[in-house]
Amino acid sequence: MISSPHNPKLKLVRSLQRRPKERQTANAFVADGVRLVEDAWVAGIRFRFVLHAEKLSKRGNKLIEGLRADGFDVEEIPTRLMQALSDTENAQGILAVVEFPSASLPVSPTFILIPDQLRDPGNLGTLLRTAAAAGVDAVIIPPETTDPFAPKVVRAGMGAHFRIPILSLAWEEIIAYIGLHSLAVFLADSSGSPCWQVDFRPALALIIGGEADGASSHVRGLSKNVVGIPMPGQVESLNAATAGSVLMFEVLRQRWEFAKK
């Protein structure tokens, strides 16, 4: 059992939770909670090590038994240390340091999501979760967007990080990729054309602007297709996660309707 808060493994967890630079240097991040560790295991992600508290749920105990049987580096720590280490208020007693999933851009993309200048971790994580559910091919993270492997983003993503390619690229690379595959570019904005009247069937990149400043100047020059969500109620706008979710499933709806004809 690890009993010292100064143990190198605990120090690594704390550094990975706090700083994007540490995550990049270590090529790893923290999966906190039974569900996320299960998802990483099922997806075949490489584990550095697993830490667990003394008392676990039935599901947690079963997970630890399975990880040990598979030869993973699993160590127990006191509950007080797990509570201090976990980034959640109600720690589930299990966390793992896992390596970044191997990800590459699809060679024949049909649906790419680009969250631009999103700084709220919860919104970005929700968008990643929705993207995985809606069948998006990959999510491209521009430089101005928050780190997709930050703890709050990973938690809100609910396993999306292990199900969909997530790549951080410079705008020059993003623009070149869009041009190479002749993707139609759609920018979400409340002033845009009603999404029900827009044709989302061609291969496309959907850009969701940030909560405060919207999309960056790179996007304004890249997209001529501005799309909005009709809102007859007394609301000025939707947050980025909600708006992006509505639009992603509108893309899915249109393609399903077209496929049935």
What pTM was estimated for this model as a whole?
0.93
The predicted-structure confidence for 6-26, as pLDDT tens digits, reads as follows 999 999 999 999 999 999 999
pLDDT (0 to 100) of residue 105: 96
**Same-domain pairing of 172 and 229:** yes
pLDDT 10s digits, 125-137: 999 999 999 999 9
pLDDT at position 212, please?
66
How far is CA 257 from each of CA 145, 174, 206, 230, 260, rounded to the nearest angstrom?
33, 30, 19, 21, 5
Q: Which domain holds residue 241?
A: 111-260
What strands, in cross-sheet order, belong to the sheet with 184-194?
Answer: 166-168, 138-141, 111-116, 204-209, 184-194, 225-228
> Are 83 and 134 found together in one domain?
no
E-state strands within 162-251: 166-168, 184-194, 204-209, 225-228
Q: Which pLDDT score, from 0 to 100, does residue 214 have? A: 67
**Which of 175, 108, 172 lies closest to 137, judged by CA?**
108
Q: Establish if 125 belongs to a structural domain.
A: yes
Please state the φ and ψ torsions of residue 255, each to the nearest 5 degrees.
-70, -35
Q: How far apart are CA 88 and CA 214, in angstroms?
A: 29
* Burial status of residue 83 (CB atoms within 10 A of its CB: 0-12, 13-18, 19 or more): middle
Q: What is the pLDDT of residue 256?
A: 92
Tens digit of pLDDT for each residue in 143-185?
A: 999 999 999 999 999 999 999 999 999 999 999 999 999 999 9
20 and 129 housed in the same domain:
no
CATH code, domain with 63: 3.30.1330.30
Mean pLDDT over 31-45 rounds to: 96
Which residue's entry shows tokens 């980025």?
240
Same domain for 58 and 176, yes or no, is: no
Domain end (from 99, 128, 163) = 99
Output DSSP code: residue 139: E
For the chain, count helices (H), then strands (E): 10, 10
Q: Please indicate, yes or no, whether residues 126 and 92 belong to a single structural domain of this protein.
A: no
Residue 242 lies in a domain: yes
DSSP string, 147-161: PTTSHHHHHHHTTGG
The tally of domains found in the chain comes to 2
Give the tens place of pLDDT for each residue, 174-204.
Answer: 999 999 999 999 999 888 899 999 999 999 9
User: For residues 92 and 34, is the Cβ–Cβ distance under 8 A?
Assistant: yes
In a domain? residue 22? yes
What confidence score (pLDDT) does residue 198 get? 95
Q: How far is CA 127 from the centre of its chain?
A: 7
What was the pLDDT predicted at 107? Answer: 96
Phi, psi (deg, nearest 5) at residue 191: -90, 0
- Helix/strand/coil for 171: helix
Question: Is 104 among the domain residues?
Answer: no
pLDDT score, position 202? 96
pLDDT, tens only, 82-128: 998 887 777 889 999 999 999 999 999 999 999 999 999 999 999 99
